[in-house]
Amino acid sequence: MNSDTSAIRIRDRERVRVVTLDRPKRRNALTPDALDALGAAVSETDQPVVYLRGAGPAFCAGADLDVVADLDRAAAERFAERGQRVADAIEDAESAVVAGIDGAARGGGVELALAADLRVATPAATFAEPGVKLGLFGAWGGTVRLPRIVGEGEALDLALSGRTVNAEEARRMGLVSRVTDDPRAVADELAANDPETLGAVKVRMRDNSPPAEQERREAEVFGHLVERHADAIADRRES
């Protein structure tokens, strides 16, 4: 079970790396080794955009409960830390990461999507943090990212109730940014932009330094980009 790195499929084309969670019979639940393969697939690429999706009728059910059931306390902590490292790798990737969510995202599946830069859902997508119903909670960075993204009140509502929300409610609360029949098109939209600028925007948006320092760095990066793209800017001005 734990050697199932084949659960992650990679396809590179047209400036987008498509990473597919590929255990549809298990709703794309993740084993420890599959988690590691996912982290490598997202972070070890020079494509400007990564598109993360699930095979079959679900996005991701989170941790494989067959694995979790056999863990003792120390192993459970290590499994949580493994998932956190992968979520961090998604968030820190140099590429812009788009999670395309079609069908069910549950528990760790929600948490991995939270680490992406954009979460784009189809109308069939649903979201839940049902761990509380098993006496658990989301431990792949969920207690950090969920309140940061949707606010503490909405985060507590989802995590304490374990209830399921549809795509439109998820969009309303800020859990997803768009609802569309074709999430992949959003990845293609990003891929048409300048790769260095995509990375710069990610870094600037995630900067937690004091505001004055953020603004200094913003101006510095802007100056670099203007210099780098001077010819293109001049061509646009003259057109």
Per-residue pLDDT, 233: 84
Nearest-CA neighbor of 23 among 75, 58, 51?
58
Distance CA(112)–CA(52), nearest Å, equals: 10
113 and 224 share one domain: no
Q: Say if 198 falls within a structural domain.
A: no
151 and 234 share one domain: no
157 and 211 share one domain: no
Q: Number of structural domains, the chain? A: 2
212 and 185 share one domain: no
CATH number of domain containing 172: 3.90.226.10
Residue 117 — φ and ψ, nearest 5°?
Answer: -75, -40
Q: Say if 201 falls within a structural domain.
A: no
DSSP character at residue 63: B
Residue 168 — φ and ψ, nearest 5°?
Answer: -70, -40
175 and 136 share one domain: yes
63 and 121 share one domain: yes
Token pair listed for 94: 């140099």
For tokens 């982290």, name the residue: 39
Token pair listed for 205: 């948006």
One pLDDT digit (tens) per residue for the chain, 239 residues: 333 558 999 999 989 999 999 999 999 999 999 999 999 999 999 999 999 999 999 999 999 999 999 999 999 999 999 999 999 999 999 999 999 999 999 999 999 999 999 999 999 999 999 999 999 898 999 999 999 999 999 999 999 999 999 999 999 999 999 999 999 999 999 999 999 999 999 999 988 899 999 999 999 999 999 999 988 888 777 66
171 and 230 share one domain: no
E-strand ranges in 43-86 read 49-54, 58-60
121 and 225 share one domain: no
65 and 180 share one domain: yes
DSSP string, 117-165: SEEEE-TT-EEE-GGGGGT---TTTHHHHHHHHH-HHHHHHHHHH--EE
Q: For residue 25, how many other CB atoms are within 10 A of its CB?
A: 8
140 and 218 share one domain: no
171 and 228 share one domain: no
For tokens 């255990």, name the residue: 23
- Show the domain range for 160: 5-190
Distance CA(101)–CA(52), nearest Å, equals: 8
Q: Say if 30 falls within a structural domain.
A: yes
| Cβ atoms of residues 105 and 112 within 8 Å | no
| Cβ atoms of residues 114 and 101 within 8 Å | no
Q: Say if 211 falls within a structural domain.
A: yes
